[in-house]
Structure 1
């Protein structure tokens, strides 16, 4: 189901699963490292919310970015911020990891150090 909140498209669990292998979409987990380590969607890199501003100018404006957090609140804020900074295709994972019914992986898998780590 697709809907919109504050001008930001909202994807649910099924929409996320459908697009995980789409290379034109960058999935970004914006939680804190300890939350990510407890369980994240395999292959999705960690870029904590507080570090977004230092990377935002180098994010590919031609890509769709889907932001993920625990419940959808922080990722909604990041999606709105990203949209205001020129990432016109920012999407929020509504319900976040609390609503994720797919596979998860624990431990640090991929932490964004350089913006190129997203792509």
Structure 2
């Protein structure tokens, strides 16, 4: 069940599992470093490393919903707060991060977003 931290909805593992293959769900974005993502990530979830988020800010659609994922939930919380402070209304954090994820995993660099328009396939 979702709760809230600093005005950001916290998504738990069961909720995230329901979102992974649902095209109507929020856009899921992994914000870890490339090497962390390559080691293990949720299949189909794109990577936008945290430090590159400001460069993507103007390209992200403020009318869309987003859930951010990192290793423990701290970096993704900071990204959600940053976007919220920049006019994004529907941003969420995966509480517990990949340390809590017990679903399917994939290794390798599956999908690193260089052009955020790639998110809208």
TM interval, shorter chain, is: over 0.9
CA RMSD between the two structures:
0.9
Cα distance in 2, alignment partners of residues 60 and 85 from structure 1:
12
Q: Which residue of 2 aligns with 1:30?
A: 31
Runs ≥4 in structure 1, deviation > 6 angstroms?
none
TM-score with structure 2 length normalisation? 0.95
Match of 2:117? 116
Cα distance in 1 for partners of 2:80, 2:108 equals 25
1:23 Cα offset (Å): 2.7
User: 1:70-117, CA deviations, whole angstroms, 9 ceiling, x for partnerless residues?
Assistant: 000000000000111111100000000000010000000000010112
5+ unaligned residues in a row in structure 1: which ranges? none
Match of 2:13 in 1: 13
TM-score, length basis structure 1: 0.97
Q: Structure 2: any 5+ residue segments left out of the alignment?
A: none
Q: What is the CA–CA distance in structure 1 between the aligned matches of 2:65 and 2:82, rounded to whole Å?
A: 14
For these two proteins, the number of residue pairs brought into alignment is 119
User: Does the CA contact (< 8 Å) of 1:28 and 1:118 recur in 2?
Assistant: no
